[in-house]
C-alpha cells in the first residue's frame, strides 16, 4: 500500500492509530485523582508532541542518516513561525498560506546556510551552523526588527492589512473556518477527554511527515545518505558526489523545521526570536539522540519524552507532594520533600539530564533500542530474532540481556 | 593505443622526486601489473590516476579523455574503479547494500534525488547485485552488516563493489596485502575468474611476486619514481636490471 512493504504498512497504520488515539491514551487517570497531574491529554501539550515530533523527524533525516550534526536548526523553526505570522498580518487568519510560505522560506534559508556550511564536515560543520543560527537570532533582535518586531515578538495588530479577511471570518488561527483552539470534550465517568481541532490538524501533518520520512528511509536516496555517514571516501570512489546528497538532506530537514515552526505559530499566533536560540537547536539534538538517532520512531519518542518532562514534571509543586506523601511521619515526609525538590518543579532539568545520561550510557541506540531489547527478551524462546537491524544492534552492543 | 595512456608524468613532494617521466600504456582487456620496491612511487602513480593527486607535468589520458583535474567521483563515472590497500567499504550497511550502491551510481550518475523510489522494488539492480555476490561466493552473507565480515571477506566485498560497475579499468592497490598464502591464492583465483568472465581491464599494484606472475600479462617495474622496464612476465623474471633493483633485495 502507498509504495510500502507489508511490514511498513502495518507500522504506519499503528503510528496512525496511536496518533489518532492520543487524546485518550494520554489521559489514563480520572480527573481529580491524585495521579491526574500525570495526564498529558490536554491540547497545548498534545500539539507540542506533534509539532516537535515533526521537528525531530526532519532533524533525524540529516543527523540520523548522514551523521552531519547541525547546531542551527532552530533558525529554520523561527523562520517558519515568522512566515506564518506575516501571512496572518497580510492576508487573514487562515493557516494554510502561512504554512506553505514557511516551508518555502525555510527551504531557501536552508539552501543558503547548507551550501556554505556543508563545505566542512564534523565539528566545523556544527560550528558553522551554530554561527549562522546565532547570527539569525541576533539579527532578529536588532537590524531585522521591521520584519521580526524585535523583543516584543511578531504579532497581529488591528491596523494590519489582512486583505482577505472576510466579514465573519474568525479572529484566531483557523483552517477554512475550523478554529484551531476549538475542542470537543467528552466526559466519561471520571475521565475527561479533549479532542482539539488544532491537535488533529498537527497530527495529520505529522503523519504525512512521518510517511515521507519512511519513504526516504527506504529509498536509494536514503541508502546513499547512510553511506555518507559510514564512509565518504568510498562513496566518492564509487562515482557518487556526496555534496548534493548532503545538501538535499539539509534542505529537506530545514523544511521540516520550518513546517514545525509554522505550526507553532498556527496554534498560537505569535513569533519570537527566542525560538531561534541555540538552546532550541540543542533540544532537538537531545530529542533525536534520546529516542534513537537514525531510527524511524526514535525522534518522535524522544520529542514526546522531553516535552512530557518539560510540561508535567515542572508542574509538580509542594502542595502536590504533600498530597502524595502527607500520610508519612513528618520527619520522613520532610526528607522525601527535600530530595524531591532536586528533581521536580523548577529542577525538572536535573531529572531529564539524569535520564539522558542513563540512556546514552546503557542504551546507546536510544529508547528504541530499549524497546527492541524488551521485545527480544519476549521472543527469545520462540524463534530467533531476525532482521538485519536487530542483528546489527546485537553485534554492536552485546549487552548482559543477551 | 592503450585504454590508459600515461605520458611524461612528474610529481614532486618538496625536495623528493616521487615520479620522474613516467610513461605507461595499459592495453584494453589485459592485466597489467606495476611492481617496485617500497617508495618506488607506485601509490603516488595510482593516486594520480584516480584524481587524488595532480601531477606537476605530463598527461593522463583514459579512453581518449584527460583525467587530470577531475574529481574522484567524476573519474569513476568515466569508468575507472579503484580497490584500496585497506578495504574501504560501507561498514554500517549490509553486504547487499554495499553492492547496491555502486549499481545505483552506475545507473543514475553522480547524483539523483530518488527519494520517492524504493530500493526493494528495483528488481533489475537487485539481480545485478545478487549475481555479483554469487560470483564472489558471498550470497549467503547478503544480510550481514559489512563491519562484521572477516578481513578477507571485506576485501572480496570491496572487489565486488568495484567490479559490479563493469568498469573499463579496475585499479587494484596491493589486493593481497597482509593475507595468508591460502587467502592470496583464493584472491588470485577470484581475480582471474572475474577477469575471464566479465572481461575487465585490470591494473594491479603489487608487492607479492607470486601474485604478479600468476596474473599479469604485462609488467612495469618502477624504481625511484621512474619505469625501469616494461615487458612480459617471462622476460621480467630474468631481467638483470630488475634483479638488481628489486628481486635481488627481496630474495
Q: What is the DSSP string of B23-34?
A: EEEE-TT-EEEE
Instruction: Please indicate, yes or no, whether residues B6 and B50 belong to a single structural domain of this protein.
Output: yes
In angstroms, the CA B110 to CA B106 distance is: 8
* Contact between B116 and A244 using a beta-carbon 8 Å cutoff: no
DSSP symbols for A3-59: T--HHHHHHHHHHHHHHHTHHHHT--S-TTSGGGGG---SHHHHHHHHHHHHHHHHH
Mean pLDDT of the region A357-376: 90
Give the pLDDT of residue A237.
93
Minimum mean pLDDT among A93-97, A337-341, B31-35: which range? A337-341
CA atoms within 13 A on the CB side of B99: 30
Per-residue b/e over A211-220, b at no fewer than 16 CB within 10 Å? bbbbbbbbbb
Shortest CA distance from B108: residue in chain A: A240
For A346, list phi and psi in degrees, rounded to 5. -65, -20
Q: Which three cell numbers stand for residue A238?
A: 564509487
* pLDDT in the model for residue B193: 87
The complex's ipTM?
Answer: 0.89
Domain boundary among B99, B131, B166: B166
Q: Of A29-38, A185-194, A196-205, B206-215, give the range with the top mean pLDDT.
A: A196-205
A286, containing H or E segment: helix A278-291
Considering the domain architecture, whether residues B55 and B98 belong to the same structural domain is answered as: no
Contacts of B109 in chain A (CB under 8 A): 239
What is the distance between the alpha carbons of residues A125 and A127, in angstroms, rounded to a whole number?
5
CATH code where residue B57 lies: 3.40.50.300
Residues B111 and B153 both lie in one domain: yes
B176 and B134: one domain? no
Instruction: Indicate if B108 and B232 belong to the same structural domain.
Output: no
Euclidean distance between CA atoms A235 and B97, whole angstroms? 13
Residues B250 and B174 reside in one and the same domain: yes
First to last CA, chain B: 35
Query: For A101, phi and psi rounded to 5 degrees?
Result: -65, -40
- The confidence score (pLDDT) of residue A401 equals 37
Query: For the domain A6-315, what is the CATH code?
Result: 1.10.3470
For B46, the domain range is 1-79+169-251
d(CA B54, CA A181): 64
The answer to whether the CB atoms of A216 and B106 lie below 8 A apart is: no
Residue A229, pLDDT > 60, answer: yes
pLDDT, one tens digit per residue, over B6-38 is 999 999 988 888 888 889 999 998 999 998 888
Q: Distance of CA A80 to CAs A43, A101, A209, B91, Å? A: 21, 8, 16, 37
B101-148 confidence digits (pLDDT tens): 999 999 999 999 988 888 888 899 999 999 999 988 899 999 999 999
| Domain count along chain B | 2
Helix (H, G, I), strand (E, B) or coil at A143: coil
Q: Hey, how many other C-beta atoms are within 10 angstroms of the C-beta on A7? A: 9
The candidate with the shortest Cα–Cα distance to B164, out of B246, B102, B91, B116, is: B102
Q: Which of B141, B166, B191 is the last residue of a domain?
A: B166
Same domain, B71 and B43: yes
Entry pTM: 0.90
B37 and B53 belong to one structural domain: yes
A10 touches chain B (CB under 8 A): no
Question: What does the block give as the cell for A3?
Answer: 509504495
The alpha carbon dihedral of A299, A300, A301, A307 has a sign of positive
How far CA A13 is from CA of A5, A67, A204, A305, in Å, comes to 12, 29, 13, 22
- For A392, the closest chain B residue by CA position comes to B145
Judge if B37 and B55 occupy the same domain. Answer: yes
Q: Does one domain contain both B1 and B73?
A: yes
Cell 538485519 belongs to A388
* Spatial distance between the Cα atoms of B171 and A331, rounded to a whole number of angstroms: 78
Domain boundaries, given as residue ranges, for chain A: 6-315
Q: Of A394, A368, A304, which is closest to residue A64 (Cα–Cα)?
A: A368
Q: Which residues in chain A have Cβ-Cβ distances shorter than 8 Å to B115?
A: 215-216, 219, 221-222, 248, 252
| 8 Å CB contact of B92 and A388 | no
pLDDT value at A400 more than 50:
no
Of the candidates B94, B118, B165, the beta carbon closest to that of A218 is on B118
My answer on whether B190 and B137 are in the same domain is no
Contact A391 B165 (CB under 8 A): no
Q: State the distance between the two ends of chain A, measured CA to CA, in whole angstroms.
A: 35
Amino acid at each position: 500500500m502507498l509504495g510500502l512493504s507489508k511490514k511498513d504498512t502495518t507500522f504506519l497504520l499503528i503510528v496512525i492509530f496511536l496518533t489518532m488515539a492520543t487524546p485518550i491514551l494520554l489521559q489514563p487517570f480520572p480527573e481529580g485523582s491524585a495521579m491526574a497531574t500525570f495526564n498529558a491529554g490536554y491540547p497545548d501539550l498534545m500539539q507540542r508532541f506533534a509539532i516537535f515530533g515533526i521537528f525531530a523527524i526532519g532533524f533525524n533525516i540529516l543527523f540520523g542518516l548522514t551523521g552531519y550534526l547541525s547546531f542551527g536548526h532552530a533558525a529554520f523553526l523561527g523562520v517558519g513561525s515568522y512566515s506564518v505570522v506575516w501571512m496572518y498580518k497580510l492576508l487573514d487568519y487562515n493557516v494554510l498560506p502561512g504554512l506553505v510560505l514557511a516551508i518555502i522560506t525555510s527551504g531557501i534559508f536552508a539552501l543558503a546556510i547548507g551550501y556554505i556550511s556543508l563545505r566542512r564536515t564534523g565539528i566545523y560543520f556544527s560550528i558553522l551552523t551554530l554561527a549562522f543560527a546565532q547570527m539569525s537570532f541576533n539579527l532578529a533582535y536588532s537590524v531585522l526588527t521591521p520584519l521580526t518586531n524585535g523583543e516584543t515578538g511578531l504579532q497581529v495588530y488591528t491596523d494590519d492589512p489582512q486583505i482577505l479577511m472576510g466579514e465573519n471570518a474568525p479572529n484566531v488561527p483557523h483552517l477554512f473556518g475550523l478554529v484551531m483552539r476549538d475542542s470537543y470534550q467528552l466526559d466519561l465517568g471520571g475521565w475527561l477527554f479533549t479532542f482539539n481541532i488544532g491537535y488533529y490538524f498537527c497530527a495529520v501533518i505529522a503523519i504525512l511527515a512521518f510517511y515521507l520520512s519512511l519513504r526516504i528511509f527506504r529509498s536509494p536516496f536514503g541508502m546513499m545518505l547512510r553511506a555518507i555517514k559510514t564512509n565518504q571516501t568510498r562513496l566518492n570512489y564509487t562515482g557518487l558526489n556526496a555534496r548534493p546528497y548532503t545538501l538535499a538532506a539539509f534542505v529537506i530537514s530545514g523544511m521540516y523545521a520550518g513546517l514545525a515552526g509554522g505550526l507553532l505559530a498556527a496554534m498560537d499566533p505569535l513569533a519570537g526570536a527566542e525560538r531561534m536560540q541555540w538552546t532550541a537547536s540543542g533540544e532537538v539534538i537531545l530529542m533525536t539522540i534520546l529516542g534513537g538517532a537514525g531510527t524511524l520512531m526514535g525522534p518522535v519518542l524522544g520529542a514526546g519524552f522531553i516535552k512530557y518532562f518539560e510540561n508535567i514534571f515542572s508542574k509538580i509543586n509542594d502542595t502536590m507532594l504533600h498530597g502524595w506523601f502527607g500520610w508519612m511521619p513528618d520527619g520522613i515526609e520532610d526528607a522525601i520533600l527535600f530530595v524531591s525538590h532536586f528533581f521536580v518543579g523548577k529542577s525538572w532539568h536535573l531529572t531529564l539530564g539524569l535520564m539522558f545520561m542513563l540512556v546514552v550510557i546503557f542504551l546507546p541506540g536510544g529508547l528504541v533500542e530499549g524497546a527492541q531489547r524488551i521485545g527480544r527478551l519476549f521472543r527469545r524462546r520462540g524463534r530467533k530474532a531476525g532482521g538485519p537491524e536487530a542483528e546489527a544492534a546485537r553485534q554492536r552492543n552485546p549487552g548482559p540481556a543477551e | 593505443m592503450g585504454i590508459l595512456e600515461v605520458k611524461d608524468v612528474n610529481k614532486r613532494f618538496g625536495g623528493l622526486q616521487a615520479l620522474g617521466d613516467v610513461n605507461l600504456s595499459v592495453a584494453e582487456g589485459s592485466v597489467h601489473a606495476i611492481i617496485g620496491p617500497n617508495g618506488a612511487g607506485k601509490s603516488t602513480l595510482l593516486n594520480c590516476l584516480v584524481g587524488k593527486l595532480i601531477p606537476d607535468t605530463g598527461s593522463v589520458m583514459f579512453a581518449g579523455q584527460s583525467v587530470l583535474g577531475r574529481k574522484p567521483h567524476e573519474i569513476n563515472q568515466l569508468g575507472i574503479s579503484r580497490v584500496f590497500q585497506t578495504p574501504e567499504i560501507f561498514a554500517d550497511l549490509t553486504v547487499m547494500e554495499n553492492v547496491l550502491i555502486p549499481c545505483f551510481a552506475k545507473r543514475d550518475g553522480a547524483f539523483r534525488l530518488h527519494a520517492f523510489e524504493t530500493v526493494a522494488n528495483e528488481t533489475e539492480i537487485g539481480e545485478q547485485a545478487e549475481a555479483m555476490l554469487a560470483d564472489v561466493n558471498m550470497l549467503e552473507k547478503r544480510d550481514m552488516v559489512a563491519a562484521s565480515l572477516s578481513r578477507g571477506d571485506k576485501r572480496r566485498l570491496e572487489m565486488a563493489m568495484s567490479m559490479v560497475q563493469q568498469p573499463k579499468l579496475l585499479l587494484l592497490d596491493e589486493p593481497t596485502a597482509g593475507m595468508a598464502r591460502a587467502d592470496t591464492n583464493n584472491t588470485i583465483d577470484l581475480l582471474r575468474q572475474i577477469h575471464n568472465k566479465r572481461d575487465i581491464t585490470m591494473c594491479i599494484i603489487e608487492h607479492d611476486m607470486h601474485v604478479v606472475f600468476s596474473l599479469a600479462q604485462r609488467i612495469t617495474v618502477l624504481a625511484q619514481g621512474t619505469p625501469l622496464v616494461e615487458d612480459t612476465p617471462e622476460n621480467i623474471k630474468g631481467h638483470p636490471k630488475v634483479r638488481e633493483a628489486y628481486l635481488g633485495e627481496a630474495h
